[in-house]
Structure 1
Amino acid sequence: AAGVRVGASARAAAAPRARATVGLTAPTALVPIAQGSEELEATAIVNVLRRAGWQVTLASVGVPAGEPVECARGQRLLVDQTIQQAAACEYDVVAIPGGMPGASNLGASEDVIAALQRQREAGAWYGAICAAPAVCLQPAGLLPPHATCHPGFTQTLTDAGCEDRDIDARVVVDDEWRCVTSRGPGTAIEFALKLVEVVQGPDAAAEVAAPMVLPPRTIAML
């Protein structure tokens, strides 16, 4: 299946969170990265969300301010802020890229986990892709019942009691937990488009997807 969406949102009545920038009307997102994060996933998330007009903060974890983050395949990325700076704000979405050991490094960050926990407690959206659902969300008690991840980590989701029918899906939305998960680099654009959809609606996601020359399968999932 191209994607799975489950659960009526029991948290829909939660108060909306403040924007990362005072007075900003566009949605906001935090995308933390650490040494060993998957650069294709991180850049796809940032790119797609910015195409949708979002204010996106790419934040470094475990790297001194001003220094690039060396990702899983050797690409070095410059960030907007450190996680300590970025954590002072609230966001519509916190999205965690995968890659190893990047996902483990993010999962070991108190600031990253605290940001995710704030999303969960406030009824705001968060997401994770590739290894991150298994090694970042699950140990922190933030893995929803309906989730997917990279094929190499699915046993963790099975052991955690996730629905088998979801684990092989490319993108899974758990509306009750307000969490989006996905499988890996090849699903990163779909993952990011789904983040646009859950916050801004399917028309906004379709508008972003239209000029990107995506496969019909991707368009059909919106």
Structure 2
Amino acid sequence: MKRVAVLMEKGYEEGETLTIVDLLRRANIECHTFYFDNEFVEGMHHMMIKADQQFGDEIKDYDVLVLPGGRPGGENLRNNEDVIQMVQYFNQHHKILAAMCSGTIVLSDAKVIEGKKVTGYTGYEEKLKGGLFLNDVVVYDQNIITSQGPATPYPFAFQIIEALGQDTSEMKERLMYNFAGGR
């Protein structure tokens, strides 16, 4: 079974993070959230959510590493050297790295987007150094999946699910995603 690790650092964007986890679990993908200091992690809108496990080397056994955005969640992930090293490990082992909104800056600082197509939050064209910035909702290039912001976790999560080999068409129907204008 494929496994996805979602990192939760203080200031994570609740809507992005929880939607991603919800959709992955609906797809029957094993998905765990990871904390750093305290198992109850405060989000950007002051929601205290209990994460599943403490960040550690067991994440290396996962298939996908997800870096949600948020303020200062993205910055906090970027400023954590252990996160940078984990991102580099995933890239070196050709595992999927998925980042959205301000979480994309971690990929840039870890120097794993060189020459790869990426997207990110509004104005991130300058922050995603080395990447080829596209103004698309979701971009998937090689082992990197990126997305723009708080309104895009559905297409982002669907891309992760598809990258893991599952068809999302039935799930999109059940969730009324197509009815709501999703692409």
Q: Does 1:94 align with 2:65?
A: yes
Question: 2: distance between equivalents of 1:56 and 1:113?
Answer: 21
Name structure 1 gaps, 5 residues minimum: 1-25
Q: Does 1:122 align with 2:101?
A: no
Q: Does 1:163 align with 2:138?
A: no
Taking a change above 3 Å as real, the CA distance of residues 174 and 125 of structure 1, as seen in their structure-2 partners, is same
Structure 1 SS opposite 2:25:
helix
Residue in structure 1 matched with residue 41 of structure 2 by the alignment: 69
CA positional deviation for 1:154: 2.6
Count, aligned residues: 181
Name structure 2 gaps, 5 residues minimum: none
Structure 2 SS opposite 1:53:
coil
Structure 2 SS opposite 1:35:
coil
Taking a change above 3 Å as real, the CA distance of residues 161 and 123 of structure 1, as seen in their structure-2 partners, is closer
CA positional deviation for 1:85: 6.4
Question: 2: distance between equivalents of 1:59 and 1:162?
Answer: 27
Maintained 8 Å contact 2:19/2:154? yes
Q: Does 1:78 align with 2:78?
A: no
TM-score between both structures, scaled by the size of structure 1: 0.76
The structure with the larger Rg is: 1
Spell out the pairing of 1:64-213 with structure 2 (5 A cutoff). Answer: 64=38, 67-84=39-56, 86-87=58-59, 89-134=60-105, 136-144=106-114, 145-157=116-128, 160-164=129-133, 166=134, 168-175=135-142, 178-201=143-166, 203=167, 205-213=168-176
Question: 1: distance between equivalents of 2:40 and 2:165?
Answer: 31
Maintained 8 Å contact 1:30/1:95? yes
Question: 2: distance between equivalents of 1:47 and 1:53?
Answer: 10
Q: Percent identity?
A: 29
CA offsets 1:10-58 (integer angstroms, 9 cap, x no match):
xxxxxxxxxxxxxxxx210000111101011110111111111111110
Question: 2: distance between equivalents of 1:58 and 1:163?
Answer: 29
More contact order relative to length (CA 8 Å, sep ≥ 6): 1
More helix by share: 1
RMSD, matched Cα: 1.7
Question: 2: distance between equivalents of 1:98 and 1:143?
Answer: 17
